[in-house]
Amino acid sequence: MNVLLAIDDSKFSEAATQALIGQAQSTGTTVRVLHVIEPLPIAYSGGEWGISMDWQEVLQEQREQAEALVSQAAKTLRGAGFAVMAAVEEGSAKSIIIDAAAKWPADLIIVGSHGRTGLDRFLLGSVSEAVARHAPCSVQIVRAAKN
pLDDT tens sequence across 7-52:
998 888 999 999 999 999 999 999 999 999 988 665 544 545 555 5
Q: What is the pLDDT of residue 44?
A: 47
Burial (CB count within 10 angstroms: exposed 0-12, middle 13-18, buried 19+), residue 32? buried
Least confidently predicted of 11-20, 26-35, 105-114, 117-126: 117-126
Average of per-residue pLDDT values in the chain: 85
Question: Helical H runs in the chain?
Answer: 11-23, 55-79, 93-103, 118-124, 127-134
Q: What is the pLDDT of residue 49?
A: 52
How many structural domains comprise the chain? 1
Tell me which residue range forms the domain holding 106. 2-143
Helix axes 93-103, 127-134, angle to 10 degrees: 30
Q: What is the pLDDT of residue 35?
A: 96
Q: What is the CATH number of the domain that holds 35?
A: 3.40.50.620
Please state the pTM of the whole predicted model. Answer: 0.85
Question: Helical H runs in 34-90?
Answer: 55-79
